[in-house]
Amino acid sequence: MAKRDNFTKEVKDQAAKRVAYRCSFPGCGIATVGPQYGNPLGVASIGVACHICAASPGGPRYDESMDKKQRKSIENCIWMCENHSVMIDRDEEKYPVELLKAWKVEAENKAAENLGDYELSKAQLKDTSSLKLLFDDLIKDGNYDVLRMLIDKTKTSNKNSELPLRYEIIYNIYCNREALLLSINYYLENTDVKQCDEILKILIANNISTGIELLLPFCYDEEMKTLADKIKEGTIKEYIFRSKEDIEKGIEDAPVFKDADTIQKLLSNIVVNEKFPSLPCI
């Protein structure tokens, strides 16, 4: 059996992001990611990174003139929903290479227009699952200018929607600390269903005390609430760090944390920004 030239995870992620996680089949455009039913933290995906030219001999639209690198490249990848991914491979004559390449360009151009010109449809603006993933990706990639513009567009279309107001706070955490307290106050006053635990985690990860006192009454994560109290009191370093001598003597048990990701970010902020020399205990 011939070895397949499969896409890397990076190529798959890029292909999905370049079309805003929507199917590239004309007339479809369905969102391919969303929350997993029954799992408050889960993400469900019905998206497929499809080969325009097959990954191995005998596959649809296989091109023997291509090398391994070309078959695995993003140029050879088109993002589809599960249904249309099957359809294009069942009839390669109906769906030839040039047609799929044209669809890929069309879908990417549409996503670019929506992103740059803020021409998001009403359906897209209401699709909070896709918007959240897009916002998170922009933060991860450091595209804060685009994030700011999309937040403003979403706020205009959904005046008191929780998601854009929450991400405005997150934007201010990274880019505009002077407006942080104001945005937290506005969020608390203008949202019915609040996600204060998510905001609190980011404040903690960045060792920021601003707004903690306002958020705490609406938070439920006891571990994060304890950390928030310590940051507010100015005793967070003493709480999570132990000197080498104390560790060796076993003078005091080190706290045990469940949310390793938030703690690691907090530790990095303390050590890097404040150059605290003691040893962390996780």
Predicted confidence (pLDDT) per residue in 36-47, tens digit: 877 877 888 899
pLDDT of 148 above 90: no
Residue 240: both structure tokens together = 């999570």
pLDDT of 49 above 50: yes
Cβ count within 10 A of residue 163: 19
107, 91 Cβ separation under 8 angstroms: no
pLDDT of 119 above 80: no
Domain ranges of the chain: 9-117, 118-193, 195-282
* Average model confidence (pLDDT) across the chain: 85
Predicted local confidence at residue 282, as pLDDT = 40
pLDDT of 280 above 50: no
Confidence grade of residue 94 (pLDDT, cut at 50, 70, 90): very high
β-pair partners for 50: 78
Predicted local confidence at residue 272, as pLDDT = 67
Of all residues in the chain, the percent with pLDDT exceeding 90 is: 51
Mean pLDDT on 104-111: 88
Confidence grade of residue 237 (pLDDT, cut at 50, 70, 90): confident
pLDDT of 273 above 60: yes
pLDDT of 75 above 60: yes
pLDDT of 126 above 80: no
Predicted local confidence at residue 149, as pLDDT = 82
Task: Compute the distance between CA of residue 200 and CA of residue 219 in angstroms, rounded to an integer.
Answer: 8
Among 60-74, 83-97, 233-247, where is mean pLDDT lowest?
A: 233-247
Among 116-120, 121-125, 131-135, 154-158, where is mean pLDDT lowest?
A: 116-120
Burial per residue of 171-188, b for 16 or more beta-carbon CB atoms within 10 angstroms, e otherwise: bbbeeeeeebeebbeebb
φ, ψ for residue 224 (rounded to 5)? Answer: -70, -35
pLDDT of 278 above 90: no
Predicted local confidence at residue 78, as pLDDT = 97
Task: Compute the distance between CA of residue 150 and CA of residue 270 in angstroms, rounded to an integer.
Answer: 31
3-state secondary structure the chain: CCCCCCCCHHHHHHHHHHCCCECCCCCCCCECEEECCCCCCCEEECEEEEECCCCCCCCCCCCCCCCHHHHCCHHHEEEEEHHHHHHHHHCCCCCCHHHHHHHHHHHHHHHHHHHHHCCCCHHHHHCHHHHHHHHHHHHHHCCHHHHHHHHHHHHHHCCCCHHHHHHHHHHHHHHCHHHHHHHHHHHHHHCCCCCHHHHHHHHHHCCCCCCHHHHHHHCCCHHHHHHHHHHHHCCHHHHHEECHHHHHHCCCCCCCCCCHHHHHHHHHHHHHHHCCCCEECC
